[in-house]
Amino acid sequence: MTTEFDTRMMSRALRLARKGRYSAMPNPHVGCVLVRDGEIVGEGFTQPAGGNHAEIQALEAAGNAQGTTAYVTLEPCSHQGKTGPCADALIAAGVSRVVVAMQDPNPIVGGNGLEKLLAAGVEVECGLLQAEAEAMIPGFIARMRTGRGRVRAKLAMSVDGRTAMASGESQWITGPEARADVQRLRAMSCAIVTGVGTVLGDDCSLTVREQALNLPPAEAALAARRQPLRVVLDSQLRTPPGAKVLDGSAPTLLCHDTQVEPTAELIAAGVDRLPLDRAGSGLDLLAMLDFLTARQSNEILVESGPHLAGAMLQLGLLDELIIYMAPTLMGSSAMPLLQLPLDRMAQKVPLLIEDIRAVGRDWRITAVPG
């Protein structure tokens, strides 16, 4: 049985967990609150990869956790990974009750953490605010359950659905608040995927910039401590060595056709490359995503032009679209949101709009293919 007080404490644990959303990956970000006699005695959230799990942070903060109730947003781990099993640490500290929001979808934990606690005589409750906890770590859950993280395409368009002028000119469609929102999307992603057309056209940097995140200073500093991997689909290796994506400010991977040899200049620059076979009219995008899975990428952001985003949508590789709609009209010669050659109404792609909200003067639409 859980009470209204339990719900309040779990909400607090969820808010704490959010503090790790830009830094815990590939770990899921988790929050933990320790309470004795209605008073919080310790709390913590998942530290950057390799660091303490939320429970250990909370136990250390409490000092003495004898007889406490622990509220944890994810089942405490039962395995020895980069850090020790949290279930054992809670038992050793004398925690008498553990309230958990959701089971760990990681098959090496999956219920074992709860079993361990029960076997040690700890009172266990699981499922409090489960939907909220799951919504916080969709990429980790997807990677554990399906073997692939969550792939999200970010697109910016005018009210008439245009993303660039015919010349390719596209800076800027959206306002500063939407661009800061994109910075935060980047910061919570493990990888950012783009096409060479975007690199050649915009000379984009695809980095997380501390000043541009528009977050409280401590959160911004934590978020900018790591940079997502920049992945450029560049079958013919046309990325110029002087491009911003090769400036060393973040790791970059050039995906290219196995048949194409890198130039001496690219080799000398030590650029990471992933040769891919061709599949259909382009590179094997599934193999690219498999590579990112092997690299433990929970959230993958596609920031590309209409061709790559359209191809990924048609292959069923996009789990989510985030579309920023600016209050402008760009006219009928401008480029469409996605390159999606459809002719008949029967072919139209249904979308489920999950959220729509104002971001500065723009609107952000979050949709999933239906």
Choices 27-35, 207-215, 311-319, 334-342 (CB under 6 A): range interacting with ligand AOF? 27-35
Among 13, 30, 243, 334, binds ligand AOF (CB under 6 A): 30
The interface partner of residue 30, options being ligand AOF, Zn ion, none and the CB cut-off 5 to 8 Å by kind, is ligand AOF
Please report whether residue 82 would count as binding ligand AOF according to CB under 6 A.
Answer: yes
Q: Residue 97: phi, psi to the nearest 5?
A: -145, 140
CB of 168 to ligand AOF, least distance (A): 42
The interface partner of residue 82, options being ligand AOF, Zn ion, none and the CB cut-off 5 to 8 Å by kind, is ligand AOF
Any known ligand binding at 198?
A: yes
Please report whether residue 101 would count as binding ligand AOF according to CB under 6 A.
Answer: no
Upstream peptide bond of 172 is cis (omega within 30 degrees of 0)? yes
Among 77, 204, 222, 330, binds Zn ion (CB under 5 A): 77
The interface partner of residue 81, options being Zn ion, ligand AOF, none and the CB cut-off 5 to 8 Å by kind, is ligand AOF
C-alpha of 350 from chain center: 24
CA angle, residues 207, 340, 194, in degrees to nearest 5: 15
CB of 76 to ligand AOF, least distance (A): 4
Site string for ligand AOF, 188-207 (x = CB under 6 A): --------------------
Q: Which of 55, 75, 299, 320 is catalytic?
A: 55
Size of the site for Zn ion (CB under 5 A): 3
Q: In whole angstroms, give the CA distance from residue 125 to residue 115.
A: 11
Measure Cα distances from 227 to 48, 154, 187, 189, 238 in Å: 13, 18, 7, 9, 23
Please report whether residue 109 would count as binding Zn ion according to CB under 5 A.
Answer: no
The interface partner of residue 187, options being Zn ion, ligand AOF, none and the CB cut-off 5 to 8 Å by kind, is none
Measure Cα distances from 319 to 105, 136, 157, 232, 366 in Å: 19, 15, 19, 20, 11
Q: In whole angstroms, give the CA distance from residue 206 to residue 221.
A: 18
Choices 51-59, 261-269, 315-323, 361-369 (CB under 6 A): range interacting with ligand AOF? 51-59
Please report whether residue 81 would count as binding ligand AOF according to CB under 6 A.
Answer: yes
Question: What is the 3-state composition of the chain as percent helix, strand, coil, each rounded to the nearest 5?
Answer: 30, 25, 45
Size of the site for ligand AOF (CB under 6 A): 17
In residues, how long is the chain?
Answer: 370
Nearest to 150 by CA among 311, 350, 302: 302
Q: In whole angstroms, give the CA distance from residue 70 to residue 55.
A: 8
Choices 26-34, 193-201, 265-273, 298-306 (CB under 6 A): range interacting with ligand AOF? 26-34
Burial of 189 (0-12, 13-18, 19+ CB in 10 A): buried
Checking DSSP bridges between strand 282-283 and strand 278-279, what pairing results, if any? Answer: antiparallel
CB of 78 to Zn ion, least distance (A): 8
Q: Is 125 a catalytic residue?
A: no
The 3-state DSSP class for residue 357 equals: strand
Among 86, 101, 182, 338, binds Zn ion (CB under 5 A): 86
Any known ligand binding at 93?
A: no
Q: What residue numbers does the annotated binding site for NADP(+) cover? A: 156, 172, 198, 202, 235, 305-311
In the complex, which residues of this chain contact Zn ion (CB under 5 A)? 53, 77, 86
In the complex, which residues of this chain contact ligand AOF (CB under 6 A)? 27-28, 30, 46, 53-55, 74, 76-77, 81-83, 86, 104, 106, 109
